[in-house]
Structure 1
């Protein structure tokens, strides 16, 4: 088991933040791992610093960051100037650039139908991210099937709004769940 997989096992609830209000809430929470799903080239450094000051492990979703291309130079900028723990992207080349710079990578894939499932698996095999975030996270059957096809830890994200949703995703084989539902941020691992 990799260090990152152990980190997910110890912290199965990942906070996903979409605005400054979420940032304030998550800083007051016991959540350890945070997915940043907003920001711009002008604000991301301060968002990252605020989270780090509050002892959070930060992953920035580059596809949602305004004003910065996710090309090689953009990734170099993120690494050198922002320095998060890792990045999230749906784009394989973005993951490759980040991995080449020693950053942890999470590939976000959408399981909408058989074609997207097959394409997602092929992409994971091609770009070898450190983890895979599958959406929607409430699709237990897709999580279970994906777990048979890849070796990376699975993080279930999207539409997880209740403890029941979180438990179903974890029971299907996800190592963790990511949620913007702040009510779930305070659940202890033992209560899941």
Structure 2
């Protein structure tokens, strides 16, 4: 598969708004047989991560690795460099602003994952995202449509809604609120 440029990601998300989030080998096997193009890898360890991602890339999938969830890998600058050198995904997901900055500096697409649990997390999340400038942000939970609408007006990065997205209504609501795409572990939604 040809290398995807960062400028193409937004267009690909618009054309493929359902992102598969995989948590185990059963999800991996299911997504390999699906038509989903973009995959968030939410599991693995330093021994099997490259194999997981290579299987996905061999099937033409665009791969992002959630840095914070990989066993045996410290979520720091060296961990990011390890992922880039030995796994070679298009990008990473992380909750840590310093990791977003470093990932971008070494040429990885960086998605910052933020959890909206109260009004303070909304205010600080928006400030943090505007300061750090990730390539995209994943807002969790992905069913907070009013918050997504508010964030769309305050940010200049694509928003991906993730977490608790369980049916087509949730997908459509997040997209209507301004999210560019949604990520979900629900296999039945991968075919939307």
Bin of the TM-score, shorter chain as denominator length? over 0.9
Unaligned stretches of 5+ residues in structure 1: 188-192
What TM-score does the superposition give when structure 1 sets the normalisation length? 0.95
Alignment correspondent of 2:158: 153
* Ranges of 4+ aligned residues in structure 1 off by more than 4 Å: none
Supply the distance in 1 between the matched residues of 2:26 and 2:39 (Cα, whole angstroms).
14
- Counterpart in the other structure of 1:190: none
The count of corresponding residues between Structure 1 and Structure 2 is: 187
Query: What is aligned with 2:93?
Result: 88
Within 1, Cα distance between the matches of 2:180 and 2:15?
9
Using the alignment, how far apart are the partners of 2:77 and 2:115 within structure 1?
A: 24
Structure 1 distance, partners of 2:115, 2:78, is 27
> What TM-score do you get using the length of structure 2 for normalisation?
0.95
> 2:3 maps to what in 1?
none
SS of the aligned residue for 1:118 comes to helix
| Structure 2 unaligned residues grouped into runs of 5+ | 1-5
Q: CA RMSD in A?
A: 1.0
**Alignment match of 1:50 (pick from 45, 51, 55):** 55
Report what 1:30 is aligned to: 35
Please give the residue correspondences for 1:98-117 in structure 2 after superposition, counting only pairs within 5 Å.
98-117=103-122
Counterparts of 1:32 and 1:83, CA distance in 2: 17
1:61-110 CA distances to partner (integer Å, 9 max, x unpaired)? 00111111122111111111110010000000111111000110100001
Q: Which residues in structure 2 correspond to 1:1-192 (within 5 Å)?
A: 2-187=7-192
